[in-house]
């Protein structure tokens, strides 16, 4: 039986994840599918599990990666700006997302979209706990309850379990999708996700030629 939903893994510190957050809900709506959002930490998957340097710290590849992000942003008509911040992380944002997801899933997704844009459009540091609390309050969340949760061990353990589960499933980067049990990686594969949801199969050369006509 075809799964009526699909899974979307994100990490706001990635520009490609940010771009995907602007598109994935509309793709799901267009095909009457449910999209399940999951946080993952690419700092764990890339540096600790895969043993690689983060892309921004990789010579040659870093410049190309940013150029590619700019091209994809232009194709999607989405604003994108290079922030130049150092030592940022998305721990508080991802933990806040989980707290919100258990209460108001729509609010949780809106929160991640805002947090991602804050970094990749406004150039704001998303690392502080206070940032997550403020952005969550902006979408209607109870700031006091969230702040208390973010200072406790339970939400930290929950995110750790989420990341472990993502790694166990094979998630190594973002955005990452599972649709009908099959993995798909990359913002540049959004068109393939769209096609799969529309036709129940992956595109072939003939499909590509037809789309190019």
Q: Percentage of residues in the chain with pLDDT exceeding 70?
A: 98
Backbone φ, ψ for residue 181 (5° rounding): 80, 0
pLDDT band at 1 (very low <50, low <70, confident <90, very high): very low
3-state helix, strand, coil in the chain (%, to 5): 60, 10, 30
Taking a C-beta distance cutoff of 8 angstroms, is the pair 81, 197 a contact?
no
Q: What is the pLDDT of residues 139-170, one digit of tens each?
A: 999 889 999 999 999 999 999 999 999 999 99
| Percentage, residues of the chain above pLDDT 90 | 83
Helix 153-169 vs helix 143-150: crossing angle, to nearest 10: 70
Sorted by where each begins, the domain ranges of the chain are 5-212
Q: Which residue has the higher pLDDT, 182 or 51?
A: 182
Pairing mode of beta strands 5-10, 34-39: parallel
177, containing H or E segment: strand 176-179
**Architecture field, domain 5-212:** 3-Layer(aba) Sandwich (3.40)
Q: How far apart, in whole angstroms, are the C-alpha atoms of residue 8 and residue 35?
A: 7
pLDDT band at 3 (very low <50, low <70, confident <90, very high): low
- Give one DSSP letter per residue of 114-132, joined into a string: HHHHHHHTT-----SHHHH
The pTM score is 0.94
Tell the residue number behind the tokens 């949780």, with chain if given: 108
């Amino acid at each position: 039986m075809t799964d009526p939903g699909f899974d979307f893994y994100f990490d706001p510190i990635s520009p490609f994840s940010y771009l995907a957050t602007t598109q994935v809900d509309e793709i799901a709506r267009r095909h009457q599918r449910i999209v399940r959002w999951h946080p993952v930490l690419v700092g764990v998957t890339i540096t600790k599990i895969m043993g690689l340097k983060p892309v921004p710290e990789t010579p040659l590849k870093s410049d190309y990666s940013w150029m590619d992000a700019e091209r994809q942003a232009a194709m999607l008509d989405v604003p994108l700006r290079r922030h130049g911040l150092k030592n940022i992380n998305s721990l508080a944002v991802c933990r806040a997302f989980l707290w919100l997801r258990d209460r108001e899933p729509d609010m949780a997704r809106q929160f991640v979209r805002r947090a991602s844009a804050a970094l990749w459009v406004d150039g704001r540091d998303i690392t502080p706990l206070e940032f997550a609390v403020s952005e969550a309050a902006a979408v209607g969340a109870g700031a006091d309850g969230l702040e208390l949760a973010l200072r406790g061990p339970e939400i930290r353990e929950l995110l750790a379990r989420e990341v472990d589960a993502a790694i166990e499933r094979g998630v190594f980067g973002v955005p990452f999708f599972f649709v009908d049990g099959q993995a798909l990686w990359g913002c540049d594969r959004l068109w393939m996700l769209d096609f799969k949801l529309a036709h129940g199969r992956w595109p072939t050369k003939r499909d590509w030629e037809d789309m190019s006509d």
